[in-house]
Amino acid sequence: MRSEDSANEAHPAVGLISSRIAVLTLLFSIATIWESGRLASLADPAIWGHLRMGSWILENRRLPQAGLFSQASHAPWMDFPWGFDLLAAVAYRALGLRAMPALLMALRVGLAGISFLLGGGLRGNFWLGLVVSALTQYLFLGLGPGPAFVSMIFFGVQLLVLMESRRRRDHRMLFWLPALFFVWANFDNEFLYGIAMLCLFLLVLSVEGVGRRRRWQWLDVPETGMRVPLAFAVGGLSFLTTLLTPYTFNSYIAFFSAETSSLNRHLPGYAAMSFRQPQDYVLMLLLMAALFSMGRQRSRDVFLLALLGGCAVLSFHALRVNWLLTIASAAVIGEMNPGEREKVSEERRGRVWRSHLLAPAGLAIVLAVFALAIRVPRNRETLLAKTGEHFPVRACDYIREHRLPEPLFNSYLWGNFLTWYLPEYPVAIDFRRGLYPDEEESNYFKVMNAELPYQALPSLQRAGTLLLERGTVMAEALETMPGFQVAYQDEISLVLLHESLETKAR
């Protein structure tokens, strides 16, 4: 009788596990299936510059030291996300243009998994983790494949390690951090956000140690069982591994220089959140849920409070880093809402989730490969036509075919694409920070917004060919201005010839 009862109990458990695996597989796959149909990765303006630099690294087997493919080709420049550039180039050699959606699919599966674990999945709260992961994926449906996506995932992994080591009172988990930072530092210099979080973690450990000795009642001081000196040693080693890049400490200098640049006011990613799109309100909802969870538990956890506050300040200040607040909120929600599984058995909880998360992740990858093979066109021309909905593919073909005069003046938004698709015409400007003089970049944005006359911009004044976005202020102004002739136009682009310079050339 006992064996029959055990079998009857096992059947519902197996059914529950199977249904959860199916739901998780769908959760991890839905964004990849969406990408296979929409091909949003081909509309990302930054990926093309990474692809161009990675291809150059593969061909020359060294890192660029100057502004290749730009009119500032002799100016020094450092390719900090060279690891991601190389990954993109290798994928492109293997898959062609299908590599762009393939990269984005892989990154989205990673984000879905990390956000599920942070949001409650690792603590046995299946449905809460499911909701948090779904909201996180929705927030970043518009984010293309790039180093920022990698930083988001690595930040989540680091936070997962820190919180699990603190909860389990096991400092050995921290030994993963130096390896994490070594890879991260070679993919994106926004690893500094991770360094800042690590410093906060170590500072809180020190404060909690003092609070434990002095028995501070106002502070939640968990008995972490961690050796603070050892944690600091791991933190120091993690910092040293971030210097194991081709550019060593220059990554730090470039990061702070970019973050404090006066040019940021012209760049949309550095604008504050406008609350004019649904994603802004979803992010606010996540933050409110995190704060409510802490309030309900009456938690005074210094680390979580400081992390949430710091990420909120940074995210509301600059839209481009709203992923910091998203990941932090997901982690706080998961931490403050433990599931029943954790209350029953910590060991069993860890064993079950480690074993059953592999199946949905593996199935999601299989589905992503299947969607890539079935839904994403193999033909390069078809994919180029899709790309041409957002970038001047036909205009570039016209410029190349008719050998229009150099130098080229181009739209900022198209600069990276032109380095990849029209490399024989060095660009006047692109996304690379630190390559162009600040005054020249600032004047570019002022001229394009009609705040200054076009003569204030040397790169425009000396240009033989101009490639602009149709419908912009400057395109409409120059189209009717004497001295400029329309050579080509289509739905998105306008090609102008500078007649005075063409006459001089003749």
When pLDDT is averaged across residues 251-256 and rounded to a whole number, the result is 94
Across 294-303, 340-349, 380-389, which has the greatest mean pLDDT? Answer: 380-389
Residue whose pair of structure tokens reads 């699990």 in the numeric block: 164
When pLDDT is averaged across residues 165-184 and rounded to a whole number, the result is 89
Amino acid code (one letter) for 248:
T
Share of the chain above pLDDT 90, in %: 60
pLDDT at 5: 47
105: exposed, middle or buried (Cβ count in 10 Å: 0-12, 13-18, 19+):
buried
39 with 386: CB under 8 angstroms?
yes
Which tokens belong to 487? 């050579």
100 with 41: CB under 8 angstroms?
yes
When pLDDT is averaged across residues 432-441 and rounded to a whole number, the result is 89
Residue whose pair of structure tokens reads 């890049």 in the numeric block: 245
Residue whose pair of structure tokens reads 């209350």 in the numeric block: 343
When the pLDDT of each residue in the chain is averaged and rounded to a whole number, the result is 87
pLDDT at 356: 64
pLDDT at 344: 43
d(Cα 240, Cα 121) in Å, to the nearest integer?
33
Which tokens belong to 451? 């705040």
pLDDT at 224: 52
pLDDT digit string, tens, across residues 187-223: 999 999 999 999 999 998 888 777 666 666 555 555 5
Where residue 348 falls among pLDDT bands split at 50, 70, 90? low
CA dihedral 394, 398, 404, 406 (to 10 degrees): 20
pLDDT at 409: 96
> DSSP string spanning 258-313?
HHT-GGGGGSGGGSPP-S-SHHHHHHHHHHHHHHHHHHHTT---HHHHHHHHHHHH
pLDDT at 73: 87
Decide if pLDDT at 57 tops 90. yes
d(Cα 349, Cα 369) in Å, to the nearest integer?
30
**Contacts made by residues 215-221, CB under 8 angstroms, sequence distance 24+:** 218/300, 219/300, 219/302, 220/299, 220/300, 220/301, 220/302
When pLDDT is averaged across residues 490-500 and rounded to a whole number, the result is 89
Decide if pLDDT at 503 tops 60. no
d(Cα 126, Cα 128) in Å, to the nearest integer?
6
Choice among 13-27, 252-266, 448-462 with the minimum mean pLDDT = 13-27
User: 3-state class of 361 per DSSP?
Assistant: helix
Decide if pLDDT at 18 tops 80. no
- Per residue, the 3-state secondary structure of 102-171, as one string, reads HHHHHHHHHHHHHHHHHCCHHHCCHHHHHHHHHHHHHHCCCCCCCHHHHHHHHHHHHHHHHHHHHHHCCH
Where residue 120 falls among pLDDT bands split at 50, 70, 90? confident
> DSSP string spanning 391-439?
S-HHHHHHHHHHTPPSSEEE-GGGHHHHHHH-TTS-BS--S-TTTS-HH
User: 3-state class of 219 per DSSP?
Assistant: coil
